[in-house]
Structure 1
């Protein structure tokens, strides 16, 4: 008869095999995840903040290559790489100035099921579509974000490719450059995670009487490592573990902005209040120990919001009364398009065509753009700049 440990091990192994099967079904076997998104000229103009005529003129005078045509002669649209080139040629890059501090945003809540990793990946891809250089750091040993980026943390990622060699008691890496991986998005990189990253928690817990000083050293080390890397990016997004452990504390101290996703349910609201109370105490202790914690902004965002559910509306009203302007006004709506995309290990921004109806996809994408655009505005405000002007504003100018 199998022991309990054997039974759990069998379940874990069966689960890992199924994840690998799903991954292979989501994108071709023996291949990496691809990006097949094409952007039409009208959407391209809107993203670039210019008119379609300006794009066509740049193509006609040779400054921009025209997009390839399909067999029937129709333009098939621009790739993400094309869009980045267009931004450079037309002077439409939103990148920060060298003197601007990169935004290092921790997406954190200790309550599970609030869509933390979904928010992280959609936020990364939103910033990518807008033309920013993005680094995502998966600090959670459960590695959901790593999986959504197309890597299987059990089969594709080793401990040596995570934060572990940098944060361990006996580090083998002096900086974080070793861990940065390219993703299908040309302007999004990833530091992946896997289950073995949790060994850092064990090591630091076993540090004995020197634990406090070792802990403080690790906090400062992660912050410095991320600051060094951030020089090459506009936005760094951190996905910490959903628990108050060593890595979570190090991440919270390394970030310069905090985004707290929460669902519109009473348990999620109560759990988030507990999270904020705990954060308040911990930050006080960190500051007392000489470890600085400072955020350019702290915001809560309501995720998985169903506007047709009266209970959601009631809880959101409670959130508004409690958190005031710290709660972002536009929630992320619960959408079948997000769920269907996640089943394919994708975000809505990676879909080359709607999974459900075109109307559902358009409504979901518009909501994500508006909700996540609120965070872009906070970042740009921190740089002393407003959001890029849209085409309509430019035409009226």
Structure 2
């Protein structure tokens, strides 16, 4: 073997070594059946806050048998409510935020062509935020790098076959006529996932090589993904799409299938400049799609500043530039840079899955409060699209009276 070939072969060795290490990390982070467990629980005060009612109302429902009390630990103390128990409480107490049958499900694409902006981190945290709030959520990983799939507890190399991704539906020779085949349950009872892996990228190759009728093939795939997601979305309140960070066929199909667009960007000059280029490119592409008779319609387009360090003067300066440039399209509350998010990611989790703080309790509480406020802005946009604002809390109504 020549020296150059030997060097090139190292790439495969590095990939193989990396895949084995990911599998080791997965086995440490996940349960033996290769699925993460969800052990997070909520105390009665937090449950009442999430349901928008008083703790007395929950206790009364437990006393009269409408709700089972949460399990007790060895010391006799209540362990708190699981996510599944919270969902049951919402049904019993009429506190579900689910859309009305006539409301259009929110199909949100989380997109930026610039890597490193926290796209997959925003996607997974947004999914889990909506789950905690009681919505039915579907996450669709459209990126062959499959970071979102990994964060949901699946190893894309070992656990996911090409036939379990979007590939059988979008390929030149499709073997599936709808997307139900690809939907996988996650440890969250109200969150499902369509996973991805590296082989999904084959769709890009196939469509690029589709020959003289390439444009009509692309248009057909765009319409097909939109229709497939619209059919699937009937079972959900919110669908979150994580497209590849590049202007390829799948990205374009996702942009056309979505009915809302969320653009995360970090507070650095390169990220700002890259995002401006992304928006300019999107404007041109959408114009071309519309000219080709392909509909693109968003209920909202918003930018959210991710990984924001309030103690870094350069971040404050760039955020000020963002505010001047984008105005109300930039969500007012940024996602703060936090060690708690980094620590959770190391365990292939989100902050919402942590049973207890990894760092200090103060850091964890501050991080979770910020995520709730930042991601709650997107919930408000969804509910506004349904013609509703967030329901008033029972205690707030009583105090107002």
Q: Which TM-score bucket, shorter chain as reference?
A: over 0.9
TM-score, normalised to structure 2, is 0.98
1:224 aligns with 2:227: yes
CA RMSD in angstroms, aligned pairs only: 0.8
Match of 1:357 among 350, 355, 360: 360
Give the whole-Å Cα distance in 2 for the aligned partners of 1:224 and 1:193: 19
Q: Is the 8 A contact 2:268 2:318 kept in 1?
A: yes
With 20-29 and 85-94 compared, the bigger mean Cα shift is at 20-29
Shift of 1:395: 3.1
Tell whether the 8 Å contact from 1:45 to 1:391 is kept in structure 2 after alignment: no
Tell me whether 1:180 sits opposite 2:152 in the alignment. Answer: no
Q: 1:169 aligns with which of 165, 169, 172?
A: 172
Maintained 8 Å contact 2:31/2:37: no
Q: How does 1:5-84 map to 2 (within 5 A)?
A: 5-84=8-87
Structure 2 stretches lacking a partner, 5+ long: none
Aligned to 1:253: 256
In 2, Cα distance between the equivalents of 1:74 and 1:394? Answer: 31
Counterparts of 1:296-315 in structure 2, within 5 Å, are 296-315=299-318
Aligned to 1:99: 102
Which of 205, 208, 217 is residue 208 of structure 2 equivalent to?
Answer: 205
2:126 counterpart (92, 100, 123):
123
C-alpha distance in 2 between matches for 1:391 and 1:337: 32
Q: Deviations over 1:50-81 (max 9, x none)?
A: 00000000000000000011111100000000
Query: 2:266 maps to what in 1?
Result: 263
- Alpha-carbon separation, structure 1, partners of 2:41 and 2:207: 47
1:211-248, Cα deviation, whole Å (9 max, x unpaired): 00000000000000000000000000000000000000
SS of corresponding position for 1:301? strand
- The separation in 1 between residues aligned to 2:112 and 2:145, in whole angstroms, is 15
8 Å Cα contact 1:24/1:30 also seen in 2? no
Pick one of 371, 374, 381 that aligns with 2:384. 381
**Alpha-carbon separation, structure 1, partners of 2:23 and 2:38:** 19
* Aligned residues of 1:158 and 1:194 also touching (Cα < 8 A): yes
Pair 31,248 (structure 1): closer, same or farther in 2 beyond 3 Å: closer
CA shift, 1:391, in A, is 4.8
Secondary structure (helix, strand or coil) at the match of 1:190 reads strand
- 1:106-126 Cα shifts (integer Å, max 9, x gaps): 000000000000000000000
SS in 2 for 1:236: strand
TM norm structure 1 = 0.99
Measured after TM superposition, the shift of residue 103 of structure 1 is 0.1
Matches within 5 A, 1:148-159: 148-159=151-162
The answer (yes or no) to whether the contact 1:46–1:391 under 8 Å persists in 2 is no
CA distance, structure 2, for counterparts of residue 151 and residue 173 of structure 1: 22
Q: How many residues align?
A: 397
The separation in 1 between residues aligned to 2:266 and 2:375, in whole angstroms, is: 16
Mapped partners of 1:186, 1:313: distance in 2: 39
Q: Which of 144, 148, 162 is equivalent to 1:145?
A: 148
Determine which of 296, 320, 329 is the counterpart of 1:317.
320
Per-residue CA deviation, residues 183-213 of structure 1 (Å, 9 max, x unaligned), is 0000000000000000000000000101000
Task: Give the Cα separation in 2 of the matches to 1:319 and 1:393.
Answer: 35
Residue by residue over 1:73-92, the C-alpha shift from the partner in whole angstroms, topping out at 9 and shown as x without a partner, is 10000000000000000000
Q: Which runs of 5+ in 1 are unaligned?
A: none
